[in-house]
């Protein structure tokens, strides 16, 4: 009897279910949007959403079963209207027991009500912000996002090395996810570009389990308000044979895979008919790399990326890169480049505004100080 009482008390005094991280938005398209969040206990999740009231429900269904009994939750809303503001909240039902013929539900946790706006297919002026090389310094990121939020961009890019060698999932939360949710990510999406440091560490192969990538690929393309964005994954900076990779690196063939995809993609109508074309990748196209106080030949990863990809990107309007931890802007032809190259440092945020007349960008430091600003006329 005493044992039954103890079991009964422990059952009902178990830790309450909570939303520990999120929700955060990704894949903001004209008609779809991905919403992700984490809970401290396993449960069954769904989303309530709608234009003026929460009159619609969405659940994730995989192979004939609603996604359940997990603590990471991702639901993709589809069939959304373009250029429309929606309200939403996420809900997770605690699963106390999940047996073959018996499921016991506990409490339901609800987030507050947030909103998002789908994009318009028609070209119009808009802006985005990008940060990079944070390496887990959430205080620096918080300062930069505080600056960025004031400019009200449509979305954000995280252009690689947001964490430093991925060995524990808490690096994602503590390094950039939680502060992103605090500043913007529950109502505006971010697009993640993998850096070379995200390829390192025991958990590096699980990055996609915490974020959303179309078709599960780190390289991809999308169009936002008539502007085409290409995201390339430059991988590691050293040769695959480098001793520190212990025979587990295969980035040369991976970059060749992307070259084949890129060669085909730039022939598509989505790319050809875009008003502007912008490329983001972590490691820049440069002929010299500043390392340890002097200029040296760029690393193998930079050279291999440039050799394989640059010939297919001759007609882009801007390439946005990172990695060097130093800001620079290369005009067309300045370093034998055929397009402008913006390389952001590790303590600045870049806002790019796209207008009918051209691209305007402003680089701002952690204290709101303007580091540089330029205008690139439309071709």
> 14 falls in which pLDDT band (50, 70, 90)?
low
Q: Find the distance separating the first CA and the last CA of the chain, reported in whole Å.
A: 82
Q: Which residue is associated with the tokens 């028609």? A: 122
Tens-place pLDDT, residues 294-333: 677 889 999 999 999 999 999 999 999 999 999 999 999 9
- Give the span between the Cα atoms of 225 and 29, in whole angstroms: 10
Tens-place pLDDT, residues 241-270: 999 999 999 999 999 999 999 999 999 999
Q: What is the mean pLDDT of the chain?
A: 93
pLDDT for residue 215: 84
pLDDT for residue 289: 74
Q: Is 110 helix (H, G, I), strand (E, B) or coil?
A: strand
pTM of the model: 0.93
Q: Cite the DSSP H helix spans in the chain.
A: 2-12, 138-150, 170-172, 178-180, 251-265, 269-272, 300-309
Backbone φ and ψ of 340, nearest 5°: -65, 140
> 287 falls in which pLDDT band (50, 70, 90)?
confident
Which tokens hold the place of 164?
A: 């430093």
Any idea how long the chain is?
Answer: 379
Close Cβ partners of 193 (under 8 Å, ≥ 6 residues apart): 132, 157, 158, 159, 160, 218, 231, 233, 280, 281, 282
Tens-place pLDDT, residues 60-110: 999 999 999 999 999 999 999 999 999 999 999 999 999 999 999 999 999
Instruction: Judge residue 245's burial from the number of C-beta atoms within 10 Å of its C-beta, 0-12 exposed, 13-18 middle, 19 or more buried.
Output: middle
Q: Which residue has the higher pLDDT, 10 or 371?
A: 371
> 9 falls in which pLDDT band (50, 70, 90)?
very low
- Give the span between the Cα atoms of 227 and 366, in whole angstroms: 28
> 120 falls in which pLDDT band (50, 70, 90)?
confident
> 27 falls in which pLDDT band (50, 70, 90)?
confident
């Amino acid at each position: 009897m005493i044992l039954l009482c103890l079991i009964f008390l422990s059952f009902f005094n178990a830790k309450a279910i909570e939303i520990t991280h999120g929700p955060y938005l990704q894949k903001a398209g004209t008609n779809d949007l991905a919403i992700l969040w984490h809970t401290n206990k396993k449960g069954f999740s769904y989303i309530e959403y709608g234009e003026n009231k929460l009159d619609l429900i969405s659940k994730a269904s995989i192979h004939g079963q609603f996604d359940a009994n997990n603590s990471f939750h991702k639901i993709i809303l589809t069939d959304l209207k373009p250029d429309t503001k929606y309200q939403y909240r996420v809900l997770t039902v605690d699963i106390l027991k999940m047996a073959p013929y018996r499921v016991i539900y506990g409490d339901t946790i609800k987030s507050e009500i947030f909103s998002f706006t789908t994009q318009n297919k028609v070209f119009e002026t808009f802006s985005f912000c990008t940060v990079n090389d944070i390496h887990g310094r959430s205080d620096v990121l918080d300062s930069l996002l505080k600056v960025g939020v004031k400019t009200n961009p449509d979305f954000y890019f995280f252009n690689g090395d947001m964490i430093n060698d991925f060995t524990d999932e808490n690096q994602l939360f503590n390094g950039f996810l939680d502060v992103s949710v605090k500043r913007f990510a529950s109502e505006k999406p971010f697009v993640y570009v993998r850096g070379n440091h995200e390829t390192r560490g025991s958990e590096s192969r699980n990055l996609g389990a915490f974020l959303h990538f179309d078709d599960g690929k780190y390289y991809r393309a999308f169009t936002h308000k008539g502007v085409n964005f290409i995201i390339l994954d430059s991988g590691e900076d050293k040769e695959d044979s480098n001793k520190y990779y212990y025979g587990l690196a295969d980035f040369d063939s991976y970059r060749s895979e992307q070259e084949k995809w890129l060669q085909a993609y730039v022939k598509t109508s989505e790319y050809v008919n875009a008003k502007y074309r912008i490329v983001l990748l972590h490691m820049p196209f440069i002929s010299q790399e500043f390392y340890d106080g002097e200029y040296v030949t760029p690393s193998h990863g930079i050279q291999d990326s440039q050799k394989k990809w640059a010939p297919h990107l001759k007609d882009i309007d801007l390439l946005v890169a990172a990695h060097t931890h130093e800001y620079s802007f290369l005009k067309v032809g300045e370093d034998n480049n055929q397009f402008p190259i913006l390389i952001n440092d590790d303590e600045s945020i870049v806002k790019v505004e796209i207008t009918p007349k051209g691209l305007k960008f402003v680089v701002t430091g952690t204290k709101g100080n303007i580091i540089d600003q330029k205008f690139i006329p439309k071709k």
